[in-house]
Amino acid sequence: MKEMSSTMPGGQQPQKHYGITSAISLAPPRDIDHEYTKKLCDAMKPFGVFEDEEELNHRLAVLGKLNNFVKEWIAEISELKNLPPSAISCVGGKIFTFGSYRLGVHTKGADIDALCVAPRHVERADFFQSFFEKLKQHEEIKDLRAVEDAFVPVIKFKFDGIEIDLLFARLALQSIPDNLDLRGDSILRNLDIRCIRSLNGCRVTDEILYLVPNKENFRLTLRAIKLWAKRRGIYSNMLGFLGGVSWAMLVARTCQLYPNAVAATLVHKFFLVFSKWEWPNPVLLKQPEDSNLNLPVWDPRVNPSDRYHLMPIITPAYPQQNSTYNVSTSTRTIMSEEFKYGLSVTDEILQGKAEWPKLFEPPSFFQKYKHYIVLTASASTEENHLEWIGLVESKIRVLVGNLERNEYITLAHVNPQSFPGSKENRNENEFVSMWFIGIIFKKVENAESVNIDLTYDIQSFTDTVYRQANNINMLKDGMKIEATHVKKRQLHQYLPPELVQRKKRSIAELNRSSNGGSSKRISLDSSHLDSSRDTDSGTPFNSPTCKPSKPASDTDDGIIPPKQLFVESSPASSAAPAAQDEGMSIPVIGSKPPVKAKPPSPPAIPTALSGDVAPDATSSPKEEPNGVEDSVNGAPAKRPHSPVEEDQAKRHKDAEVRRDLTFKEPYPPSSDCYAHGEGANVVGISHSGSKAKPIPTIDTSRTQRLPSMELPDASSPLPASNSCRVVKNSIKLALNRHK
């Protein structure tokens, strides 16, 4: 750390300079700041964010047992591998924690992220075989399951009622001492990529704690921000918002800028800093360092795809990565509005005009938009349903990206909370979960009517889900995805009245104009070293309420029946390979895939990196993004609402195969759905019948891929099933513009 030349008020000694810039304010807290902090704690208590002493001690006891369990197992493995008795006695082994528990901000009932560190003679196969069997024999361990092929391989289980996700890392050491420190970069030498990924969570967590001026102030502030994010529906790395480690880094940066402030002040300053942050300038807790280990790091000057990240928050431990690569145009817009909303509320609180509970009020997602897409995942058994919804949810951001690239859609806002299917809308023996995506349609200028075809957007999403399900042998009979377009007034058919009928709050009008000029960039979904594990879900959350600017095209007059955009059951054997949507590029190290359109010069590298980030000349650049970037305003070229006619000749083969697919309309066209008032409105559905648009073929020329199960292999065909039939609907929404 650098030392500051300035002194503290009152002639105190200079204090450490935290972060890559000097502090904004060194002011000590006032008495009233302590009072506001106490009120903040009182406001958070009803939400279960603080753990009592008994539960805390229970967690410590469980971790102690697990640590001893690991040491016993490693000693047994060492004996089987004929190590001398003197070596076995000191071979060691250790459990490290990371995530919310290690940061000290876990909630009641939250799980524990842990890492088993073993010496070099213990292999990963031993962990997933002999250690798994040893756990199976332990009477206190329940719900044991291994996910060996995951991007970050893990064993999940409940130990005496506490959920634990246990990773594994094998270090190039003869023994693992109890005082081992994982922060040093030298421990990464000679490790395989899966061990490096597994270690990354611990290394990032430890580095964050090392880089904050006051750990207690940091923890209390982070508890408040995480609760706020969950309540406002923007806590989900999987769906394109931010996960736990990203929120922790934003709070840590705020603490660096205001090193002497207490939690109440830091919460307010958090919203002040990030409501004004000029994205995509990155958030950095320290100067990135190169350890010459030839690992890929985030650096937009070296890796072209890094220049397209919309909201980069960079992990402080080597190899530095962007923990927010899932963020899309829509999710960044929504989070930016929420930062401004949080600032307005905390301003009121610190002025004595409001109380802290107002900050944690849930939003009015189901009153916010005129149009919604209801995404339904169903399965025939409860066990299949749990597997299926996990996969579908992990891919919803693909659908959001598809919708964003539609030239007639301004914003697609997914509510992270899922809902059980209503009895009226499902069969008795089906297990159903629903997600809701709010849609804002673009204002239509100088046009009487515009047809919007969402078939391609939905189909490429469902094909992606089915392909991955097939790749991991998950696909079973009865697993289905359905997508239905509904208007706000039809939500009562899917949701309980208390959710649909809540009145709008006037606070929702505050930032309506903030969405209008937001820059649009293409969000790339790429595999990184996963340091943003998002597992702390103990606190309930709902979705945001701050309104984006409302285009004139988005009215709510008139009622039409819900239109089923897309229904798919397990695909039939005649299905063709599905389209790879433009945002779902598969990362390839050291090679470039064909690019559809040559992009102009990429946007300027964020000025915050000038002279700060040392380029990693040894790391191979990642692939170029698929899409065209506007170098002037950062807006991506919107994908037309369906494949263009000129492409049909190139895709003749796909068109031939798809002629066999059956297109059906679940509802008759409505004749009494005319809108009144200004703007455009979705008033009807036009059907393409059997004349379906062909899907672009997939480029199979890529030969090298990252070893990741998170992204599907685009060259694999859609799964075949003789017992199930594909049912696809070609849907076009008609926007009519009223004078």
Catalytic residues, by residue number, are 100, 111, 113, 165, 226, 235
Q: Report whether the peptide linkage leading into residue 319 is cis, meaning its omega lies within 30 degrees of zero.
A: yes
Q: Which residues contact 687 (CB under 8 A, 6 or more apart)?
A: 663, 665, 669, 730, 731, 732
Tokens describing residue 384: 């299949």
Count CB-CB contacts under 10 A for residue 355: 13
Paired tokens of 591: 């090679």
Q: Which amino acid is at 2?
A: K
What sign does the CA torsion over 567, 571, 573, 577 have?
Answer: positive
Task: Report yes or no: 461 and 581 within 8 Å, Cβ to Cβ.
Answer: yes
| 462 sits in which H/E element | helix 455-471
Q: Helix crossing, 382-404 with 329-350: angle to 10°?
A: 90
Determine the Cα–Cα distance for residues 77 and 93; give it in Å rounded to an integer: 12
Residues 71 and 336: their CA atoms lie apart, in Å, by 47
Q: Which two tokens stand for residue 208?
A: 């964050």
- The one-character DSSP state at 127 is I
Estimate to the nearest angstrom the gap between the alpha carbon of 511 and the chain centroid. Answer: 24
Distance CA 47, CA 223 (A): 11
Output the CA–CA distances (angstroms, integers) from residue 284 to 162, 608, 609, in the order listed: 34, 9, 9
What DSSP designation does 341 have? H
Work out the burial of residue 167: count CB atoms within 10 Å of its CB; fewer than 13 is exposed, 13-18 middle, 19 or more buried.
buried
d(CA 328, CA 240): 6
In degrees rounded to 5, what are phi and psi of residue 467? Answer: -65, -45
Q: Answer yes or no: are the C-beta atoms of 412 and 437 closer than 8 Å.
A: yes
Q: What b-and-e string marks burial along 592-627, b requiring 16 or more CB atoms within 10 Å of the CB?
A: eeeeeeebeebbebbebbeeebeebeebebbbbbbb
User: If you write DSSP's letter for every residue of 554-606 in order, what string do you get?
Assistant: ----S----EEEEEE-SPPTTPPPPP--TT-PPP-TT-----SS---SPPPPP
